[in-house]
Each structure stands twice: as C-alpha cells, then as structure tokens.
Amino acid sequence: DTLTVFNLFIGLMISFRLNSAFNQWRAGVVAIASVAEAARGIVASTASMVDFAVGGEEKLHFMSEMRRYVCLYVSIIVQDARGYLRDDIQPFIAGNLLKETEADEMRRCGVVISRKDTAGSDYSTILQANPHKLRATIVEVWLRRLIQSGGRRNWFAPPQAASLNANVSSLVSLYTTIYNIANIPIPFNYAHFLTLMMVLYLTLYAFVIVQSSGFATPLWVFLWGFVLFSCDDLAREIECPFGLDSNDIDLESRIVRMEEELDVILRSLHYYEATVRPTETTNKQSNHIESINWIKSSTSQYNSVSFDEETQSNEIPMTPAPVLRNVLTSPSEEENEQTSPITSSINNNNYGTV
C-alpha cells in the first residue's frame, strides 16, 4: 500500500515537472514569434502615420532610424535569450545597428562595463552577462525619444504617439518574458525536493521488491531510476527553448526573416515617397522616375537571389540595412575595443541621440 501511494505521488510530480517545462517552452516560442510581430507593427504603424508628401527625405531618414532602433532592440533580445557573455558592442557597430556616437553614450552612461570571465567561456547565464538589462534600457529610451521627436515636428498627432509608445511597451514586455524564460529555471528548492523524493522512492522500491525479485532487484531499481531521472533531465532540457539543440528555436532564421520584413517596409516607403514627392522641374521628375526604376530593378534582384550583404545593389536609395544575423554568428574580433575613445563626428540628423 505504501508503495502504491508513493507510485501515485511520484507519478504526479514527474507529470507536473514535464508539463510545466513544456508550457515554458511553448511560452518561449510564442514570445519569440510575437517579437517579430511587435517590431513589424512599430515600423509599419509609424510609416502609416507619417505624411511623405512634404519633407519626404527627412522623414525617410526618420523611418530608417526607427527601423535601426527596433532592430537593435531585437538583436539585444535574441542575444540575451541565447545567453552570450558579450559586454562589448562591436557586433552592433559592425552590423550597422549602433552608431559610434551612440556607442560612446553607452560607455559614458555605464552600460558597457568590464567584467572578468570567471567561467572562461563565451556562454553563460543572462544574469551574469547583463544583470540589469542595461543595453535594452538605454535603447528603449532612444526609441521613445525618437517617437517624441517626431511628435514635436507634428508628423503625427499625440494619440498616435501614445499608440506607438504602447507598441514599444509591448516589445519591452516581450523582452521581459523572454528574459525570465531564459534566465529563471526551475527553483532550486523544488529541484532539490524532487531529486530527494526520487531517491527515497527508489530506496523504498528496492526494499519492497527484494523478496520477489531477489538478485534482480538492483537491475530493476537501476532501470526505474534511469526512467525517473531521464524524465527530470528531459524537463530541464526543454524548459529553455533558446539554446543550440535541434528542438530549440532557430533564432538566426527568425531574425533574418524579420530583417527582410522591415527591409521590405523601408523599400515600400522609398517607393511611395518617390511617387508623392512634389515635382517642380523636369529634371526632378526624371530623377524620381529613375529612383522608382532603381527600386523596381533592385526589388526584382532581391526576390531572385539570396540575401547577402555583399551582393546588395548599390543603386537602392536607402541607408545601409542593419544586419542582425551577425550578432549571433560573428563574435567580436577585438575584446578591448570598447575602451577605445570615439573620435568620429556626430551626425547632423541625429534623431533620438545626444
């Protein structure tokens, strides 16, 4: 009778352990998918609110900055989800995600600080890599400051600015969800209690079956213990979906898809701005037609060949697109580059930065 009760108890515990791990894995999958939707919603909503008939070039630069900040925030999300210990910001600069003036602001504000790598590895928990979400915090400030700068220019009404800030808040909420899933595993007390219960169960199981099994008792205890501890290891494996296993989320593919979606939005804006821009002279009109032809030709090339930053057409009248994929695949080449002084000039159209 005691073994029967213990069988039911340990079965419920293992079932709850596996079910909670699967629910956490599913929540991670949903959160990562929602990040791309939130990023696309921020850029697309801003584009729909801005009138490109007047001051189109400045507004296109504004939208490019919006896309860059959104891509930068998403790159921080996926890097923190993967748990890379990277205090340097050179991958962001190399991927056209971060300007050197903004990198200098990060350093001066204490976002980038030097830490000793105690584990001797490039992979660690998120708590060790970014204990206070410093990078995401300052990028959120830049993004909201950019929205505020557009509101001061009367490019969209205050209710529209409030809606954009709400979209940014949803992206921040998704980052918190992913951060918690990747960084907060099963509580130690619960894990210790579960292991202790399995050991006690196997001990009781051995005493109960020893009379009927005889010398085969160790074999039965080993097999049943292997099943129990395998279930616990399986739960630990699937509770975090942001690793490098085959059943984990392919973050590289997802950010590449988001990268392409945002690039399509910016291409559409350049096409639209070229069509609604007021033409004063024949030369300007011909230049607009040539600009549209450039976008059409480059769009056909974009759909016919694979996306590669080295094969992009230089005829597209757009700023360099951010390259998010290098944030996860290309490590920093110079570890001490973050301490070097910034000597580049500040951009005149410096939306949202100081």
DSSP string of 224-256?
HHHHHHHHHHHHHHHS-TTSSSTTS--HHHHHH
Q: What do you get for the CA distance between the two ends of the chain, in Å?
A: 73
Q: pLDDT higher for 343 or 2? A: 2
| pLDDT tier at 168, thresholds 50, 70, 90 | very high
Q: What is the pLDDT of residues 62-114, one digit of tens each?
A: 999 999 999 999 988 888 887 765 556 778 888 788 888 888 888 888 877 65
Contacts 24+ apart (CB under 8 A), 165-170: 167/38, 167/41, 167/42, 167/45, 168/42, 168/140, 168/143, 168/144, 170/38
Q: Per the structure block, which two tokens stand in for 136?
A: 């995401």
For the chain, give every domain's residue range: 2-185+239-339
| pLDDT tier at 171, thresholds 50, 70, 90 | very high
Q: Phi, psi at residue 275, to the nearest 5°? A: -85, -30
Distances (CA, A) of 71 to 68, 101, 253, 338: 5, 17, 14, 21
As a whole number of angstroms, the distance between CA 90 and CA 338 comes to: 7
| Largest distance between two CA atoms of the chain | 102
| pLDDT tier at 140, thresholds 50, 70, 90 | very high
Give pLDDT, residue 249. Answer: 81
Give pLDDT, residue 116. Answer: 55
| pLDDT tier at 311, thresholds 50, 70, 90 | very low
pTM of the full structure: 0.70
As a whole number of angstroms, the distance between CA 354 and CA 342 comes to: 14
| pLDDT tier at 201, thresholds 50, 70, 90 | confident
